[in-house]
Structures are given as structure tokens and as C-alpha cells.
């Protein structure tokens, strides 16, 4: 059986001007982590899944935790498309994680 992985890219922009907004931001961030998302850049998170039905289940869970303000965007790409991502950086950062499945899958 050949499993085809997909990546769920979640990008968000949430206001944090008031204490209430900061709490909502914190609650949303913690919910993403609890759902298995990994931060790849500020306000950009990724999760790997292996079926389209799992994609929909993840989206349904995110809708439950949706903050009342701000916006959230979700993009689903194939594993191949994700691995074709191009990194452009200034100075080499030895702490930068490589763009492979090993970063997201624990064996």
C-alpha cells in the first residue's frame, strides 16, 4: 500500500491588543499544538496527515477553537509540493530544521 501524505498549512493573523485578545491568541496557539501542528514560522503552522478525511476532521476541530477576531487560512498541499518549498535565508542558521518528513514524523 502506497500512503500519500498531505500537509495542512495553517496561517493566522490574530489581534493581541487587549487582554481578552491575548487570551484568545494563547488558547488558539495551544489548541494548534494539541492537534499536532508544528510552528514553521511565526503564525504559520503545519501538520502532516495521510487521508483527506483526516484533513476535514482537523479543520472541524480548528473551527471549534476559532477565535472571535482575526483571520485564519488553511492550505492543503501534497507532500511532494511541500518538499519542493524553497528556503531563502540570509546567514546560515545551524538550528534551522530541514524540510523532510523526519521533522514531523516520529518513528
* pLDDT of 104 above 60: no
Q: Where are the domains of the chain?
A: 6-103
Question: Domain 6-103 belongs to what topology?
Answer: Alpha-Beta Plaits (3.30.70)
Query: Tens digits of per-residue pLDDT, 41-61?
Result: 999 999 999 988 999 999 999
Give the DSSP H/E element, type plus range, for residue 13.
strand 6-13
Residue 107 pLDDT? 34
**d(C-alpha 56, C-alpha 4), whole Å:** 16
* pLDDT of 2 above 80: no
Query: Tens digits of per-residue pLDDT, 3-38?
Result: 689 999 999 999 999 999 999 999 999 999 999 999
pTM check: above 0.85 = no
Amino acid at each position: 500500500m502506497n500512503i500519500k501524505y498531505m500537509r495542512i498549512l495553517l496561517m493566522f493573523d490574530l489581534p493581541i491588543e487587549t487582554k481578552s485578545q491575548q487570551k484568545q491568541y494563547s488558547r488558539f496557539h495551544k489548541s494548534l499544538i494539541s492537534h499536532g501542528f508544528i510552528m514553521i514560522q511565526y503564525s504559520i503552522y503545519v501538520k502532516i496527515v495521510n487521508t483527506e478525511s483526516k484533513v476535514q476532521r482537523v479543520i472541524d476541530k480548528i473551527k471549534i477553537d476559532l477565535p472571535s477576531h482575526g483571520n485564519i487560512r488553511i492550505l492543503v498541499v501534497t507532500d511532494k509540493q511541500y518538499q519542493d518549498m524553497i528556503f531563502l535565508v540570509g546567514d546560515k542558521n545551524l538550528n534551522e530544521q530541514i524540510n523532510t518528513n523526519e521533522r514531523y514524523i516520529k518513528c
